[in-house]
Amino acid sequence: MRRLFAAIADRYDFITAALSFGLDRGWKRRLVDLAMPLRGAHALDLATGTGDIAWELADRGARVVALDITPRMIELARVRAGTRPVKLIVGDMSALPFPDNSFDLVTTGYGLRNVPNLERAIDELFRVLRPGGRALSLDFNKPRNRIVCSLYLTYLTIVGSILGWTLHRDPDTYRYIPASLRRYPAAQGVVTMMEARGFVKVVHVPVLGGLMSIHRAFRP
């Protein structure tokens, strides 16, 4: 994943906008709305990419640490940060370099779907949250209706192939998205998994008619 995202980092913002018809930023703002960050809250944004969620949290008064596994993403995020006091670090969300009970809020956009071990990543979110803390995740969903799901995966494959060939001369570049979605347990599966790992009040909010989803969970 580090090699893949290093290859696409400079076009990452364009790709997310293209695949979402420009709706991606609004979804991320909605995630932050659901997070309800208090001024001065200590927040961690995982798989931060070029920093969209981190900037939104910082603009609302949170003290933010933003982490991504790809050094180039962090370089691009640093350029976009401007004067925002966000700490940017390279790291693995499956092995977070923070003590237990470090954060009031943990967010991620398109992070959980891409980790090699989802249970381990959820355990790490739980570990670094303080009691009463909140975890929120925005990601693609896998619709329950088989026909809709098939059409959705076909769309992602075809458009991803076109963008991959146009931008990188490699149609396989963005096929990781439908490939990762096929093995993803879908929104309700993530709810079940988070509850099994200790989270409470776990809900998923359908976005774009259920093609996307925002999860919110609390550490007791």
CATH code for position 50: 3.40.50.150
* Domain membership flag for residue 201: yes
* Domain membership flag for residue 171: no
**What integer pLDDT is reported at residue 12 of this predicted model?**
86
* Domain membership flag for residue 152: no
Pairing verdict, β 212-218 and 129-140 = antiparallel
Residue 129: band (very low, low, confident or very high) from pLDDT cuts 50, 70, 90:
very high
* Domain membership flag for residue 112: yes
* Domain membership flag for residue 179: no
* Domain membership flag for residue 86: yes
Q: How many CB atoms sit inside 10 A of residue 20's CB?
A: 17
Q: Rounded to an integer, what distance in angstroms lies between the CA atom of residue 89 and that of residue 217?
A: 24
Q: Give the domain range for residue 19.
A: 2-142+185-218
Is pLDDT above 80 for 37?
yes
If you average pLDDT over residues 168-194, what whole number do you get? 89
Q: Where are the beta strands (DSSP E) in the chain?
A: 42-46, 63-68, 87-90, 103-109, 129-140, 200-207, 212-218
Q: Give me the number of domains the chain comprises.
A: 1
Is pLDDT above 90 for 200?
yes
Strand, coil or helix: 51: coil
219 secondary structure, DSSP code: -
Is pLDDT above 80 for 2?
no
* Domain membership flag for residue 166: no
Q: Rounded to an integer, what distance in angstroms lies between the CA atom of residue 61 and that of residue 59?
A: 5
Handedness of CA 72, 180, 120, 31 (dihedral sign): positive
pTM summary value: 0.93
* Domain membership flag for residue 65: yes
Is pLDDT above 80 for 4?
no
